[in-house]
Amino acid sequence: MGCTFNAVLNKDNRKNKTGRYTIFIRITVDRQTKYFSIGERIDQRYWTGRVNHWVKANHPGAFELNKMIRDKIELLYQFYFRQRAFGNGVSMQSLSAFFHKKIDPNVFNEYVAQYIKTVRGKSLNTLKK
C-alpha cells in the first residue's frame, strides 16, 4: 500500500477576492487522492513547488509557511509509519481524521487521552498492563 503527501497550490484554479491561492496538502493512498487545506493563502508568484522550499524566500512569511507545510507533512508521515508499525491499516478516512483532529499533539495530556480513545487495544501490549 503506497502513501504520499505533497504540498499543492491552487488545486481548483480559484483565487479569492485579494488574488491569493489556497495551499493544500495532497494525500494519496492506493491511488485515491484527496486535498486538505492548511488554511493559508499566497500569491502564485511566491510559489515554487520545490520540496522544503515551497514558498519563495522573497515572500515575507516564507520561513513560517515552509515550516508549517513541513510540519504538517511530517506529522502525516509519523502517523502513517506508526500505524504500519502497529499492524493497522492506513486508509484515507484514518488520515483525514488525523489531519482534521482538533487537539494539539504538543499538549501531552490531551494527546494521550485522544490516543487512548481512538487506538485503544491496537498498540502492542502497552494498554494491557
Locate 93 and state its grid cell: 478516512
Q: What is the mean pLDDT of each run of 10 residues along the chain (129 residues)?
A: 88 81 93 92 91 93 94 92 86 86 65 72 55
Locate 9 and state its grid cell: 497550490
Tally of domains within the chain: 1
| pTM confidence score | 0.74
Q: Does residue 124 lie within any of the structural domains?
A: no
Q: Does residue 65 lie within any of the structural domains?
A: yes
Please count the other Cβ atoms lying within 10 Å of the Cβ belonging to residue 7. Answer: 23
Range of the domain at 52: 3-119
Cα R_g (the chain), whole angstroms:
17
**pLDDT by residue (tens digit) across 35-70?**
999 989 999 999 998 999 999 999 999 999 999 999
What pLDDT is attached to residue 123? 57
